Amino acid sequence: MAKMATASVCIVTYNSAADIEACLHAVLHQTLQPERVVIIDNASTDGTKAIVERYAADKGLEAIICFTANTVNNGFAGGQNQAIRQTASHYVLVLNPDVTLDPAYLAETVSYMERHPETGSVTGKLVLGSDHSIMDSAGLGMRRTRQAYDLASGEPAAEWSELREVFGVSGAAAVYRTAMIRGIQIDGQFFDEDYFAYKEDVDVAWRAQKLGWKSYYVPSASALHHRGWKQGGRRSIPLFIRRHSYQNRWFTLIKNEPVSWQLLWLLPLLAFVEASKLVYIILREPGLLGSWPIIFGKLPVMLDKRKQVERKAKENRLRQTVYGNK
């Protein structure tokens, strides 16, 4: 008899007191029970730690809920890597604390991935917590300008009822195959910890594609995403976060954009887009200029990571040539 697929849930919290209990309640009421729920707190100051510890004790779940309170903020990428290393299941659900899962979320996503072994990551139908009829995300898309975006964001949820292949999955509620996690990690890291936070899921999606993995949107799995800053516009996002988002876009391009004939016609477009952004930054958001010393300083590191991915891709192609699709 085939061994039943197992899944763990990894949550990184940072001042998540308002959301974490509802998130945990939904996780622990999945029809496919998680083998382990790993929570990494990034030095919260709002009582998140006390809420998680009390919840685990009250429910008698200390053996399932594995909680670590960091004394420093390791970022989303570092925190998730820290959590993933504590799992040994076939699948890992990377989950934001402001997401409330439908009871069948894990079962539906894992079931699809079990039937399609070439699939490395899956996301379900994420709708806005403030309006359940409106989509938050159906996964990640990529524009010609190499700008990643949330597919279906702001669109009617009723129009997103069909399965589809996507560029990648949002880190808000992403189910990853453990074999893929191990296969695409660089220097022992699944999420690149140089990103700290933001666009690390885009980097993973692109890297996974280059190494032969597929990603799908599975609408039979659903969840509510109670995100706040997205509705407030850029001015509601702290400068610290905007800097990471901006520099991480460059890191992602440096590491993943293929060198091909297509790049020749793409370069003028990218140059125009980035020059326009730079003019806007100088005039409206000069604080972002502080990202450039970091981008230049990390250039050798990013180029080395690019080489490692290309080496893995070459090894994969050689393996397929020798062994075929077996």
Residue 49 sits in the same domain as residue 181? yes
pTM of the model: 0.93
Quick one: tokens of 312?
Answer: 């893995």
Same domain for 198 and 276, yes or no, is no
- Any domain includes 1: no
CATH at 26: 3.90.550.60
Residue 206 in contact with residue 168, Cβ under 8 Å?
yes
- What CA–CA distance (Å, rounded) separates 208 from 281? 31
Q: What total number of domains does the chain contain? A: 2
Pair (158, 286) in one structural domain: no
* Residues 254, 302 within the same domain: yes
Residues 16, 44: contact at Cβ < 8 Å? yes
- Shared domain for 162 and 277, answered yes or no, is no
Residues 248 and 100 reside in one and the same domain: no
What does the alpha-carbon distance between residue 69 and residue 138 come to, in Å, rounded to a whole number? 31
Tell me, yes or no, whether 22 and 161 share the same domain.
yes
The first and second tokens of residue 311, run together, are 């080496």
Report the amino acid identity of residue 213.
W
Q: How far apart are the first and last CA of the chain?
A: 22
Where does a domain end: 232, 262, 291? 232
- Residue 2 maps to a domain: no
Q: Is 3 helix (H, G, I), strand (E, B) or coil?
A: coil
Question: What are the beta bridge partners of residue 275?
Answer: none
Does 106 reside within a domain?
yes
Structural domain of 147: 7-232
In a domain, 61, yes or no: yes
Q: C-alpha distances in angstroms, 281 versus 208, 220, 237, 243, 288? A: 31, 41, 15, 11, 7
Structure tokens, 2:
């085939």
Q: Are 213 and 184 in contact (CB under 8 A)?
A: yes
Q: Are residues 137 and 246 in the same domain?
A: no
Question: Which residue, of 177, 205, 232, is where some domain finishes?
Answer: 232
For residues 172 and 246, state if they share a domain: no
pLDDT of residue 326: 47
Angle in degrees, CA 115, 192, 38, rounded to 5: 60
pLDDT for res 1: 35
Question: Do residues 243 and 204 share a domain?
Answer: no
- Whether residues 240 and 226 fall in one domain: no
CA distances for 163 relative to 91, 109, 170, 217, 218, angstroms? 20, 11, 16, 6, 5
Report the C-alpha gap between 180 and 273 in whole angstroms. Answer: 33
| Neighbour-count burial of 191, counting CB atoms closer than 10 A to its CB (0-12 exposed, 13-18 middle, 19+ buried) | buried
- Which amino acid type is present at position 79? G
Q: Are 155 and 245 part of one and the same domain?
A: no
Q: What is the pLDDT along the chain (326 residues), one digit of tens a residue?
A: 357 899 999 999 999 999 999 999 999 999 999 999 999 999 999 999 999 999 999 888 888 999 999 999 999 999 999 999 999 999 999 999 999 999 999 999 999 999 999 999 999 999 999 899 999 999 999 999 999 999 999 999 999 999 999 999 999 999 999 999 999 999 999 999 999 989 999 999 999 999 999 999 999 999 999 975 445 555 567 888 899 999 999 999 999 998 877 778 888 999 999 999 999 999 999 999 999 999 999 999 999 999 999 999 999 888 877 766 54
